[in-house]
Chains A and B, each alone.
Chain A
Amino acid sequence: MRIKRIGAVVATAAVALTVAACGGSSGGAGAQGGGAGAQPYIAIVSKGFQHQFWQAVKQGAEQEAAKQNVRITFEGPATEADIEGQVTMLTNALARQPNVLGFAALDSRAAAPLLQQAKSRNIPVVAFDSGVDSGIPVTTAATDNKAAAAEAAKHMAEALGGTGKVALVVHDQTSRSGIDRRDGFVEWMKANAPGIELLPPQYGGGDQAKSADITKSILAANPDVKGIYGSNEGSAIGVVRGVQESGRSGLTVIGFDSGQAQIDAIRGGTMLGAITQNPVGMGQQLVDASVKAMHGESLPKVIDTGFFWYDKSNIDSPEIKAVLYQ
């Protein structure tokens, strides 16, 4: 009896291993396609992978990799709070003996020993998305978030005619992008729009539901709010939801990044417009810079991957369409 049960368990184990093996062969096809050492290999460790934005960066990286005939892997932790998970991924990426390492640090100081290791093994590091506080990366391909947030503030002030209460729903107060997109917005307003009164920024972790709840409480506490700014995709969509759920109209909502829900909100008029980064371009520039670093070419300290303001008027223009993701 017991033997039979154990047999069943062993059989199930075999099935699971087969699944693992299948996963392996489907993934391995791309990964080992070039054969050992034939194709240069760039290991990319990002800040996330399931979020649309990272998928767009990945897509850009893959396009460029195909063009330049290099092999890449692209991975990131499940949440942007999982710093240890990212450090482990970085460790494992280095164990795969890459020619170049692409890295978007959740906390660059936490990853410092590993970057040092990459340096001592002569693996060039190309930072992307957010700066790495260290001299090790040969270059950083990133959006100038502060300038981008200032652009959002400028459009907000214009839309409100320079007066009124404005609220900020920011994705977090610890990451570089959260800080820059908050400060860029706040600083521009303080310097250029004295008639705008800013409420203290609220943080929703980039979570849609949480940001929606925050928006509703802001509106309940301040019925005279005229405009709300959401600092990333999740925050911005949350703001739109919160405004809709609270039944308010006539508010000026400005968002960040894209995604289907945000694009729909702009087309439908609930959102005035948004700032988009250029994630596909970021992925392309990352791989391009990596290839150059591999050949020892000199690179600028920072590669600005750019941003755009988009609203109803230009959302269908080819220039904007190319950088939005669904």
Chain B
Amino acid sequence: MTSPTVTEEERQTAPASVRRTLRDRIQQFLAFASLIVIFGFFSMVSPNFFNYGNVTNILFSTVVIGLLALGTTFVIITGGIDLSIGTGMALCAVISGVLIVNTGLPLPIGVLGAILFGGLLGLVNGLNVAVLGLPPFIATLAMMLVAQGLALVVSNSTPIYFDQTPGYIDLSIGSLVPGANFPNAVLILAVVAVLAGVLLNKTVLGRYTYSIGSNEEATALSGIDVRRWKILIYTLAGLFTGLAGVMISARLGSAQPATGMGYELQAIAAVVIGGTSLSGGKGSIVGTVIGALIISVLNNGLQIMSIPQEWQNVILGCVILLAVYADMARKRAR
């Protein structure tokens, strides 16, 4: 990987990437417009929807899925998938509990340990995908089961409570802004989203992420060590999983070993609604954030309106179909 090669590659794909950016903008605009429309709709029909408390609730409920979705955006842009993030998150939560509650390590070390453990899970996924050449779906499906089992084994199938470490719980529900009652978790999500955006848009890692997803072979032929970057990208996604594990256990005041299954699909849904293509090469962090917000605004709004629960998933499913349809329509219009 030398810089002239990169410049060459960039020059060759420049027109395509300009077009890509334009299409992405349109998709993002559509997603953003839908978010505004849905938000406006709920504000009109329910008096309890648009107020400071409830909007804070919506942002707060976006945190865990949002973090998972941010990490998995990178993986999906490479044309891969990560199904292990839901139960991996539960395992990282348990690790955090083991380090902080059972072992009595200081908070920052425990939190860092849980996040790094997530990275380790991602590293294993990356090795399986990049070195052993397993399809990402299978490699991470296996990891999903391993993580679910390990979470139960390590925790002895019992939740680990953080009652004695209120500082940990404050990571999520505490408020740095005095008196504003604005949960720290939302601030953390915002900071991490900005970091993810910078990583994807301003760094070599981001450029290669798109490049691998658009054409893996060409990327390899242009002298880029695709394996190494893939391992790095899965590891990065794992770090997000670890942080999500910390945030969900802080929110619940407990590491719940049996939870997590299904979160991966919600995160993937958020990524897809945000316009990231499952076939790789396209996507954005802004889109993912909007996608995650659309899901939580819908969930919150439908609950606030007391819509029968049976209908809530029907509507959510329709929104996902619509998003994928928009993605396909965009591709056909090329």
Chain A residues within CB distance 8 Å of chain B: 1-2, 5-6, 8-9, 12-13, 16-17, 19-21, 23-24, 26-28, 30-32, 36, 49-50, 73, 75-76, 78-79, 81-84, 87-89, 91-93, 95-97, 107, 109-110, 112-113, 172-174
Extra A-B contacts (7), CB below 8 Å, given A13-B34, A87-B251, A112-B253: A6-B30, A28-B306, A76-B309, A95-B53, A97-B48, A172-B258, A174-B257
Q: Which residues of B contact A107 (CB under 8 A)?
A: 159, 252, 254, 256
B25 contacts partner chain A, Cβ-Cβ < 8 Å: no
Q: Are A9 and B326 in contact (CB under 8 A)?
A: yes
The answer to whether B306 touches A83 (Cβ under 8 A) is no
Q: Could you say which residues of chain A place their CB within 8 Å of the CB of B48?
A: 95-97
**Do the beta carbons of B333 and A2 come within 8 Å of each other?**
yes
Report B-chain residues with C-beta under 8 Å of the C-beta of A5. 329-330, 332-333
B309 in contact with A49 (CB, 8 Å)? yes
**Interface size (B, Cβ < 8 Å)?**
57
B311 touches A27 (CB 8 A): yes
Once the chains bind, are A110 and B306 in contact (CB under 8 Å)? no
Q: A36-B47, A75-B303 given as contacts; is B41 within 8 A of A109 (CB)?
A: no
Q: Is the CB of A16 within 8 A of B306?
A: no
- Contact B254–A92 (Cβ < 8 Å): no
A88 touches B299 (CB 8 A): yes
Write the chain A residue with the least CB distance to B299.
Answer: A88
Using CB atoms, name the residue of chain B closest to A172.
Answer: B258
Q: Do A110 and B329 touch (CB < 8 A)?
A: no
Main SS of the interface on chain B? helix
Interface presence of B171 (CB below 8 A) = no
B residues 289-334 near A (Cβ < 8 Å) are 299-300, 302-311, 313-315, 318-319, 322, 325-326, 329-330, 332-333
A–B pairs, 8, beta carbons within 8 Å: A6-B329, A20-B41, A23-B308, A81-B261, A83-B256, A96-B304, A109-B161, A174-B258
Q: Mark B42-75, 1 if CB is under 8 A from A, else 0.
A: 0001011000011001001100100000000000
Contacts of B308 on A, CB cut-off 8 Å? Answer: 23, 26-27
Return chain B residues, CB-CB under 8 Å to A50. 310
Residue of B nearest to A20 (CB): B315
Asked if B30 contacts A82 (CB within 8 A), the reply is no
Q: Roughly how many angstroms separate A13 CA and B329 CA in the complex, as a whole number?
A: 13
Distance in Å from the Cβ of B52 to the closest Cβ of chain A?
A: 11
Contacts A16-B318, A24-B307, A27-B306 given; does A9 touch B30 at CB 8 Å: yes
Chain B residues lying within 8 Å of A174, measured Cβ to Cβ, are 157-159, 257-258
CA distance A107 to B93 in the complex (A): 16
Given A24-B45, A81-B259, A83-B259, check contact A95 B322 (CB 8 Å): no
Q: By the criterion CB–CB under 8 Å, are B258 and A92 in contact?
A: no
Contacts of A23 in B (CB 8 A): 302, 307-308, 311, 314-315
Which of A1, A96, A109 interacts with B163 by CB under 8 Å?
A109
Taken together as a complex, chains A and B put the C-alpha atoms of A176 and B62 apart, in Å, by: 29
- Closest Cβ of chain B to A71, distance in Å, is 9
Q: Are the C-beta atoms of A13 and B173 separated by less than 8 Å?
A: no
Does B248 reach chain A (CB closer than 8 Å)? Answer: yes
Cβ-closest 7 pairs across A and B: A31-B306, A110-B252, A27-B307, A23-B311, A92-B303, A81-B258, A5-B329
User: Which residues of A are found within 8 Å of B173, using beta-carbon distances?
Assistant: 113
Closest-CB distance, A229 to chain B (whole angstroms): 20
Q: Which residues of A contact B261 (CB under 8 A)?
A: 79, 81
B154 at the interface (CB under 8 A from A): no
Q: Are A110 and B253 in contact (CB under 8 A)?
A: yes
Are B329 and A9 neighbours in the complex by a CB distance under 8 Å?
Answer: yes
B159 touches A84 (CB 8 A): no
Query: Chain A's nearest CB lies how many Å from the CB of B192?
Result: 18
Is B167 located at the chain interface by the 8 A CB criterion?
Answer: no
Q: Contacts of A173 on B, CB cut-off 8 Å? A: 157-158
